[in-house]
Chains A and B, each alone.
Chain A
Amino acid sequence: MGIVSEPKGIADVKPGRLDAATLKSHFADLHPALSRHEARVEADRCYFCFDAPCQKACPTSIDIPLFIREIAADNALGAARTILESNILGGMCARVCPTETLCEEACVREAAEGKPVRIGLLQRHAVDAQMATGKQPFARKLATGKRVAIVGAGPAGLACAHALAVSGHSPVIFERREKPGGLNEYGIAAYKTPEDFAAREVAFVLSIGGIEVRHGVALGRDFSLEDLRARYDAVFLSVGLPGVNKLGLPDEDKLANVVDAVDYIAELRQAKDLTKLAVGRRVVVIGGGMTAVDAAVQSKRLGAEIVTIAYRRGLEDMKASAYERQLAQTNGVTIRAWARPLALEGHGGAVSGVLFERTRMENGALVAVGDAFRIEADVVFTAIGQTGAAAPFSAAAPKLQNGKIVVDAGRRTSLAGVWAGGDCVAGGLDLTVSAVEDGKQAARSIDAALRG
C-alpha cells in the first residue's frame, strides 16, 4: 500500500512539493565519479599492503591492492577484470556497499590518519570504464548442456547465473517481478544508483550469453521447488525476503499512510516522474537500518519538511553505519534513539502521529523508562526488518532457521541438488556484496557437482 495523496482528515500529503529541476539535483549521484586524474591520485595513496586487510574485509575478497595498482598504472580495464573476477556486480557494490564498515574501515590509512583510500570510488572508476566499452571481459567455456534453475534475479541469482554461464552451463532465472536486479532495482536509494545503473549492470551481466530470464513467474504460485528439481540439473534459491516485520500495533493495517518503507522505496525507484510522487509534510520512519535511512533521506529530498527516524535502542546499536546516520543528519533528518512506538494515532482514517515511550538498557534488557512523547506525522514508514517467514515452499522445504534457509559453506541446502544464497539464507549480512559472494560460491559448488 503506497501513500495516499490528500487523504481524509488533516494529513498533509501531496506530490510536487519541489519542482522538477530541484528533484533532479536531489536525486543525482550522491558521490560523483572520480575523473581519471582524481583516480590516479587517489590510487597513489594505496600502500599495496601485504595480505591486505581491505581484501580480507571484502565479502567477495576482491584483490583491492592489485586493482588499485592497475588504476594507478592507467590500466582501468585490467583493474575492472580484477574486480569482476571476484564480484561481477562490482559496479553496484562500488555504489552501495557500506565501505566504511568493510574495506575502507580495514584500510591501514584509516588507522594511520582516519582517511582511508576511497576504495569504493576507485572500484566504480574501473568498472565504469569496463562498462563503457560495452563488452564483457569474460568468455564462456564449452557448453556442458547442464541446466540450472535460479529463483530470483537479484544480486545472488545474477552472480550465480553469470558464474555458471562462464563455466559453460545454461542457467534459467525465474523472476516474479517485471524487471531483474532485485533490490538493486527496487530497493536501494535512488541517489546511490542513478541513471538506470541497476538495469545497465544487469544487461552487462547477461551479455555473457547463455542465461535465460523468465519474468512474472513466482515460486509457490507458478511452479514448485519439486518441479525445478525434477526438470533441472541443479537449483539455486535466491528469493530474497518477501515479508516485512510488523510493528504489532493496533490499526497498523487500517490507518492510511502507515507504509512499509521497502514498498515506498520501490515505488520511488520505479517512478517515471518524481513530481507526481506523493510525500508527507511530516514523516516518521520507525527503524534503524539502511532502509530506514534510505526512506528518511529520500523523503527529505522529495520535499518533506520534518523527517524523524525513531529507533528503540541507542545510536550505536543501529544497523545503519555511522556514515549512513551522518548522511541522514546532514540531509536534515532528526534521529531519535531510545524511542519505542507505543501507539499509532489517527484522524479521519489516516495516521496523524506516533506515540513513543522512552527506553533504556537495564541489565542487558531493553526496558521502558516510563515516559512517553508524541511525534506528529502525515506519513509513517515502517522499516524494522524483512522476514523470510513467507518462504513459498510446499512439500519438501529446505531446512529453515527463523524463516531463513540454512546453507553450508558451499551454499548447499539440506535438499540434494538445491543451493541457496542472498538475503533468504540464514546468517548473512543482508548486503548486495554478500549476496554476490553467495551466488559465486554456490556456482563453484554447483559446477563441481555437475562435473562430478
Chain B
Amino acid sequence: MADLRANFLGIKSPNPFWLASAPPTDRKTNVERAFRAGWGGVVWKTLGEAGPPVVNVSGARYGALHGPDRRLIAFNNIELITDRDLEINLREIKEVKRDWPDRALVASLMVPCEEDAWKKILARVEETECDGVELNFGCPHGMSERGMGSAVGQVPEYIEMVARWCKANTRMPVIVKLTPNITDIRRPARAAKAGGADAVSLINTINSIMGLDLDNMTIAGAIDGKGTHGGMCGPAVKPIALSMVSEIARDPETRGLPISAIGGITTWRDAAEFIALGAGNVQVCTAAMTYGFKIVEEMISGLGNFMDAKGYGSIEDFRARAVPNVTDWQYLNLNYVAKAEIDQDLCIKCGRCHIACEDTSHQAIFASVDGQRKFVVNDDECVGCNLCVLVCPVEKCISLVQRTQGVDPRTGWDYARPAANWTAHPNNPSVVKAAE
C-alpha cells in the first residue's frame, strides 16, 4: 500500500486531506469528529482580533446550484470569520493540538492591515503550539467591505506587506490564501513569495449569486428581502482552481513555491489531479459540508489504490508530474491531427453528436448511411474539436484518434508532419516580421 503521508512546510499529516478553514473547522467538537473520521489535518476557521466577535446573519448564509436530482453542483456562503470569542478558539486549538499531535492543525487569521494587529494575534496563536498560520486574503464577502479578506488579496502590494510582517513576527510557517477574484493569479502569488510566505493556498471562493427568486424578485435565500453576493465553491469551481494552481506551479517566478490546493475537491481523483499539478496537499470543505466527514475514507482508499496501480510509493513520487505538460497555446503542436471515431457497437443512435456538430460546429457527422439511421464521422470536415466526444452520453463511444498515416482530406496535408507550433507558423504575423 502506498504511503499517503504528507509533509507540507514541515507540517506532517498522515494523509494529504485537510479540511479547509470554514464552518466544519469552527470548533473543537467538529474538528475532533473530523480527526476521528480520518482527516489528516485542518485549517481552523479564521480567527479575528480580540474583542467583540463578528456577527453573522440569522438567515440563509448558504446558497447552492443543484442538478435535477438535487446533486449539489456548486455552493456559496456569506458567513464571516469565526463569530466565537478568540479566547475560546485559542483554548480549543491548544487542546486539540495536544490531543491529536499526529494531525496537522493550522490557524487561519484575518485582522486589519496594521502590523501591530498581526503581531498581537500571531503571538497568541503561537501559544497554542499549532503547526502554522494561513492568512485569509480570500474571503470575498462581508469582511472585504471592511478592508480585509479579498480586499487585501486583490492588491499584491498588501499581500507582500502583510506576509512580510507575519514572517517577521512568528517562527510558524506562513501560508497565504489567495482569492480567485482577480485577473492574473500569478501576481498575488509572486507577492506572497516576495513577502517571504512559505506557501500559498488557493482558491478561496468566487464572487457569486447562485440564483434568483423570480416570485419575489430577490436573490434566492434573501435576508429580509435583500440579498448579497457570496463566495462560490464546490465541484463547479474545480476547473478554475486547477488552472490557477497550474499557473503558479509553472510560473518561473513562483515555481517550487509550495501549494495547498483548494477548490471543489470531492473525491480522491480531484485530489490526485491537484497533486499532479504541484500541490503538496489539498483542502476540502464543500464535499464535507454536503456529505459529512466520512468521505475521507473514500479519498484515502482511492488515492492509495491509484498510487499502487501506478507504482507511486509516496505523494512526492507523482507530485507536479503534470506541470511540464501544461503550456501556453502558442506552443501546441499545430501539425498534430486527431479525428473523431464512433464505435458503432456502443452507439445508441441518439444523434446528439450529429446535431451538435451540424448546428454549432463543422457539419462533420453524417446522420444516415444508405437511408439508415447511423452516425458516422466525415473525415473531410472533422477538425477533431472534441465536441461530439463531450456531448455523447455513452462513455468511450466516440474517441479522438490521432492520425499518423496518409493525407488529411480536410487540409490535403500529410498526417505525418514534424511538430510545429504557432511561434514558427507562416500565418503568424510576428514570424513574417522577423523574416523580413
Contacts and interface: CB of A to CB of B under 8 A. Distances in A.
Interface of A: 37, 40-41, 43-44, 47-53, 72, 108-109, 111-112
B350 A47 contact: yes
Contact of A49 (B67, B69, B350, B394): B350
27 contacts: A37-B70, A40-B68, A41-B68, A41-B69, A43-B68, A44-B67, A44-B68, A47-B350, A47-B352, A49-B349, A49-B350, A50-B350, A50-B351, A50-B352, A50-B354, A50-B367, A51-B367, A51-B373, A53-B349, A53-B373, A72-B68, A108-B349, A108-B350, A111-B348, A111-B349, A112-B348, A112-B393
Contacts of A48: 352
B107 to A, nearest CB: 42
Given A50-B355, A50-B367, A51-B367, A108 B68 contact: no
B68 A49 contact: no
B69 to A, nearest CB: 5
Q: Which 4 A-B pairs have the closest CB atoms?
A: A50-B351, A44-B68, A50-B355, A108-B348
B356 to A, nearest CB: 9
Contacts of B68: 40-41, 43-44, 72
Contacts of A111: 348-349
Interface string B350-366: 11101100000000000
A49 B351 CA distance: 6
Interface string B369-392: 000010000000000000000000
Interface string B174-207: 0000000000000000000000000000000000
A333 to B, nearest CB: 35
Contacts of B394: 112
Contacts of A37: 70
Interface residues of B, number: 15
Contacts of B349: 49, 53, 108, 111
Chain A CB count within 10 A is highest, among B69, B348, B350, B393, for B350
B391 to A, nearest CB: 9
A111 to B, nearest CB: 5
B393 A47 contact: yes
Contacts of A109: 348
Given A47-B350, A49-B349, 7 more contacts: A37-B70, A43-B68, A44-B69, A50-B350, A51-B351, A51-B367, A112-B393
A37 B66 CA distance: 12
Contacts of B70: 37
Contacts of A51: 351, 367, 373
Contacts of B373: 51, 53
A49 B352 contact: yes
Contacts of B354: 50
A320 B127 CA distance: 80
Interface in B317-372: 348-352, 354-355, 367
A362 B289 CA distance: 69
A119 to B, nearest CB: 15
A118 to B, nearest CB: 14
Chain B CB count within 10 A is highest, among A37, A51, A53, A72, for A51
A296 B351 CA distance: 42
Interface in B9-44: none
Nearest to B68: A44
Contacts of A41: 68-69
A48 B353 CA distance: 11
A356 to B, nearest CB: 44
Interface string B60-71: 000000011110
Nearest to A38: B69
B367 to A, nearest CB: 7
Contacts of A40: 68
A261 B93 CA distance: 80
A53 B393 CA distance: 16
Contacts of B367: 50-51
A127 B27 CA distance: 52
A72 B67 CA distance: 10
A44 B66 CA distance: 13
Contacts of A53: 349, 373
Contacts of B393: 47, 112
Nearest to B354: A50
